[in-house]
Structure 1
Amino acid sequence: MTNWLPDLQASDGPLYVRIADQIEQAINTGALAVGSKLPPQRNLAYDVGVTIGTISRAYTMVRERGLVSGEVGRGTYVLGSSNDDDPAALDPVSARLVGTRAAHAPPGKLRFDTTAATDVGQATAITDILAAICSEHPNEIASYTRNFPQHWLEAGRQWLKRGDWQPTIESIVPTLGAHAAVIAAVSVITSPGDRIVFEHVTYSQVSRGTTLIGRQTALVESDEDGVIPEDFERVCMQQHPKLAFLMPTAQNPTLSIMPEQRRRAIAAIAKRHNVFLIEDNLYGGTMETGIPLLAEIAPERTFLVGGLSKSVAAGVRGGWIACPPHLAQRVRIAHKMVSGGLPFLLAELAARLVLSGTAEAIRAKVSEEVGLREARARDILAGLDFNSHPRVPFLWLKLPDPWLSGTFRQAAFAEDILIDDEDEFKAGRSEKTFYRVRIGLSSPESREDVVTGLTRLRRLLAHGPTGYDSPA
């Protein structure tokens, strides 16, 4: 067993991340040799002066990076390329994290931590369209994208429309996915130092991205119907944000759907305080609620974002943003600056998928599969407290006492299941504790895998933390 200790003063950031980074650095420099045993978690927590939960999260992180292996009762050991039986050891980069998630599921793990569109055979249709594009447009593929054909805009208008409403074609900007669309809008409306409103739990990749480019986060309270207007007004009055990022329909991760009256109240407050709104409708695009979009209620200040990743194919990176009047050109330029530009091949593919009706047909198949999986989840998790919807590829599960979100995530990992704890969705440092995890239903390869994984999680919940022991 090694006597190695981390130097917590060597870097900034959360303690568990610093400890994990120190472990990785020690492995890279040879200070922690291949095959050496890391200190027991309780011992290291005592020596460093932190909680055992902090050490546990750090050990989990380096395990997900493919740098160590751990077994209950045996300990945690440094892996190396000499371990030919362990693919993660042969290629540790493959198991590293993107954000707080593993880039690829470690061998033998069931992936319930992403919500990309389920594989329903869409690769065949995409292959045919790609072949046609390559045959018809060799020059455009070989060069940079300098023009935006009208049919790219028309595809966006069709994909973003809801009910009888659709955006104007002049307002549409094709983007490299929904995330890039949001960051482009942020770059147009705000400057470094400006504040952006986020719910306490939301699609946190946006808040992290905006922090990276110098924006500040302002947190607003929500309830089962979404953002609370009175608290939104308080934040606007006290912190003077320039922009608010909202998911009024099928909010990620809570699945809340904001009623029309509340949407109108939020829009009125935004108008009073001159705040622009980003309406992320990526999950909302899978359902018809009959409730007007914020973009319908306040088109002069709302950016509506949608894309193909959750309902057609995430790898296509197809997205569109409908902009307030006179801002589309600015967003188009900002998108090019922050993303490097829109590849002709992907933009043309996304447009043809939509205009040919293929995207809608795939979305119908994906929605059907998601509904079947959600029904299985309802049966297996019956009696527990969770939010779900037949058209949305995840559920938001309340953990029974005394489970903690991070502890359950780690326990699930020990059961070969990857899920997201609530920290993955926190837009900033929040004192709120939800005791919830998000479980994605779309990424397991089959319904059988969904049943297997959820059954294991149900059993784990029933046993409680006393039936779970982390590696010493």
Structure 2
Amino acid sequence: MAQPKYQEIAKAILHLIDIGHYQVDSKLPTHRTLAEDYNTTAITIAKAYKLLAEQGHIESFVGRGSFVKKATSLKAVIQSQFDDSEWNFSILQPCYANHLTELYQQIESCSNQPSSPSLFGYTEDTGSIKHKESGMLWMQKFGLQVRSPEHILLTNGAQHALSTLIENYSKPGDRIAVEALTYPGILSIIKTLGRHAVGVDMDEQGMKPEHLKAVCIEEKPSLVIALPSHQNPTTVTMPLARRKAIAEVIQQHPVWLIEDDIYNFLNDEPIAPITNLIPEKSFYISSLSKAISPGLRCGYMKVPQTQISALASYIRTMLWLASPLPFEIADRMIRSGLAFELANQQKQIAKQRQTLANEILPGVISQSTSSYHIWLTLPQKWQTDEFTTTAKERGMLVSDGQFFTANKTSTQAIRLSLMAIADDTYFEEGLRALRDLINSR
């Protein structure tokens, strides 16, 4: 079925915004002018503008007209839209090929089998103990030491866990130590809550303990946030010795650790989390978003014994509890072993695509053979923002490396997701199109 005319026009205008034809803060043409350009009515253009305003791309003022809005950094770097005419190398998610069939079957099975009435009502303590147990099983499988499901809190994904911890264990104006190159979602939370990110230098083993120590002394951060496995964006996985060194620094200073370990299922063998070494000073986050589905919004947070009550009360106050229905689906998948099978399938796909990307693309920096993404250095002839825009014009969505820098330092790299494109042939065509663009100058 064809799209309504106003939606087609809105898409065309958005494309012109993306490629820079309409600049940020510039005034868009009047309804009458565009109506003539698109051979339609002013009412249709008004509907297109209204749609773009609702989506946050433009803003309109009575008597002044409509203006292009600046995209948020998170939206600019992670583009979740899927269009058959585009290669989405932007968003990190599981590769949905046969994976979707299994998910549909699990949802159908859950809906057809009688379940506890508690799934449809309020429960105490931020969720069912059964769902906390399955979360504990998931995290134990990948190396976390946890004695009781009472130490597990359920959240609406890892992002919710991060925002909850940052809001509870820091205050506006506080410094928060993060890896010098890190996930923009973390930087966005820190900025939105009025905190300040301080980048810690990295090497081929991840966050450098000596610089973290200096930051703890000089900046006195309230929190340290680390992604120890398949770090986003660098793909680095901390070896055990580096994790021990980071734990020693945390132990020596009045600071909490948030260990965001959502990619640990991609490790060839489980590596002991930093949290195992300092359980009384660390919060450990895992989720099913990358291994199974971001749509389930199943996040698991292991917290120190002394902090369980306060955090449970906060979650209950803010949203009462994460929805039990997705956790019921997750529970069945984890206990049957299917969740681990699906996670392993994703790891194998990632390995195949890492190999292919390293063969086709120049300038790849990847410490891993199984990460969902690569960190690609562009030739000096390209600026990252210019490359990103040009790639967009040619139907390729990539993530500008500038959005990953905690200290706003310049970078000559972009991040490429290897998993969002489901079809293998189309994925390889996209890699070759990227290579041709890189070499086009």
TM-score under structure 1 normalisation?
Answer: 0.76
- Corresponding residue of 2:419: 442
Deviations 1:284-329 (A, max 9, x none): 2321455431011211111111111111112111110111222223
Give the aligned residue type for 1:136: P
- Corresponding residue of 1:211: 191
Alignment of structure 1 residues 71-470 onto 2, 5 Å: 92=52, 99-100=75-76, 101-105=78-82, 108-134=85-111, 135-137=113-115, 139-146=117-124, 148-162=127-141, 165-169=144-148, 170-289=150-269, 291-338=271-318, 341-381=321-361, 383-387=362-366, 389-427=368-406, 429-430=407-408, 432-464=409-441
Q: Tell me, what secondary structure is at the counterpart of 2:352? A: helix
Q: CA deviation at 1:133?
A: 3.8
Q: CA deviation at 1:142?
A: 3.9
Q: Tell me, what secondary structure is at the counterpart of 2:439? A: helix
Q: Is the Cα contact below 8 Å between 2:143 and 2:272 reproduced in 1?
A: no
Q: Is the Cα contact below 8 Å between 2:128 and 2:324 reproduced in 1?
A: no
Q: Tell me, what secondary structure is at the counterpart of 1:34? A: helix
Deviations 1:394-417 (A, max 9, x none): 111111222221111112112210
Give the aligned residue type for 2:419: S
Q: Is the Cα contact below 8 Å between 2:230 and 2:266 reproduced in 1?
A: no
Is the alpha carbon distance of 1:162 and 1:124 closer, same or farther for their aligned partners in structure 2, counting shifts above 3 Å? Answer: closer
For 2:310 and 2:179, the matched residues in 1 are separated by 27
For 2:433 and 2:42, the matched residues in 1 are separated by 30
Give the aligned residue type for 1:125: E
Q: CA deviation at 1:333?
A: 2.9
Is the alpha carbon distance of 1:132 and 1:289 closer, same or farther for their aligned partners in structure 2, counting shifts above 3 Å? Answer: closer
For 2:297 and 2:371, the matched residues in 1 are separated by 19
Q: CA deviation at 1:145?
A: 4.3
Q: Tell me, what secondary structure is at the counterpart of 1:320? A: strand
Give the aligned residue type for 1:112: F
Aligned residues: 399
Q: Is the Cα contact below 8 Å between 2:265 and 2:344 reproduced in 1?
A: no
Q: Structure 1 residues 358-367 or 125-134, which shifts more?
A: 125-134
Unaligned runs of 5+ in 1: 1-15, 38-68, 70-78, 465-472
Q: CA deviation at 1:122?
A: 3.3
Deviations 1:97-132 (A, max 9, x none): 662144514561111101111113333333343344
Q: Tell me, what secondary structure is at the counterpart of 1:326? A: helix
**Identity percentage over the alignment?**
24
For 1:81 and 1:258, the matched residues in 2 are separated by 57
Q: CA deviation at 1:459?
A: 0.8
- Corresponding residue of 1:47: none
